[in-house]
Each structure stands twice: as C-alpha cells, then as structure tokens.
Amino acid sequence: MERVIDLDEVAAAVAAHQPAWQAAGLTVGPVTWRDEAAPWPQRLETDRSKVSDPDSIGIHVRNSHEAELHVVLYRGGWADVDYIASIDDADVIPAPAMTSAQVFGALLDTCVARVFGFHRTIE
C-alpha cells in the first residue's frame, strides 16, 4: 500500500484532540495499530512498538448516551468513518482524501461535532 500519510503524525494529532474531548465528557479509546508485515489475520495493537509496518490506525470515541464514532485511517490516504448517534441516526460519514495529519484532524473535528454536538476550541 502506498504511503500517503504518516500514521505516527496522525496519532500525535489524535492525542492533541483527546484532552478537549475528555473534558467534554467523551471517552476516547486507545489508538489501535494494524501491522501490514504481521501474518494474517493481523491483530490490532495498542502498543505502537509492537507494529513494525503500520498500515492503519483506528480511533474509537463514545459518550455516556451510547453514541459512538469509529474512524480507521489507512496510510494510503483514505478513511472509513462509522457512527451511531442514536437508535435512529447511524451511518457512515464520507471522508475526503487524507493528505496530512492536519487534514485528518479537521475530519475528526467535523465527525465529533456531527456525532456528539461537540465543537473543539482550537488554541
């Protein structure tokens, strides 16, 4: 898979978002990593040091009202975004091509606002 985006930079961007999300009452799971070099079926790891050739990372955010957001970003520059905001509001969110950690951070802001109604204050 072509390397379009640096997943370590993306993980740092996710970490930068976490304090504001947590202050708003959201629960942020650990970033999960998938190793392209691992034998099939590849396990998801939460310890980056166990992954030699990362090809995707996953982010899981939820609130106390059963709303959830799942985002998987692939180093090839695309993201899969699924959410459940309520029993009547569950879907996917289309994601544009990801070209940088900053673009991905903006996607996260949009998705969190859509699912949880939370708008992060950017310092």
Question: What is the pLDDT at residue 120?
Answer: 59
Q: Most distant CA pair in the chain: distance in Å?
A: 42
Query: Where do the structural domains in the chain lie, given as residue ranges?
Result: 7-116
Supply 120's token pair: 């992060």
Please, are residues 34 and 11 in contact by the beta-carbon 8 Å criterion? no
* End-to-end Cα separation, the chain, in angstroms: 35
Residue 123 — pLDDT band, cuts 50, 70, 90? very low
* d(C-alpha 7, C-alpha 47), whole Å: 14
| pTM of model > 0.85 | yes
Contact 1, 7 (CB under 8 A): no
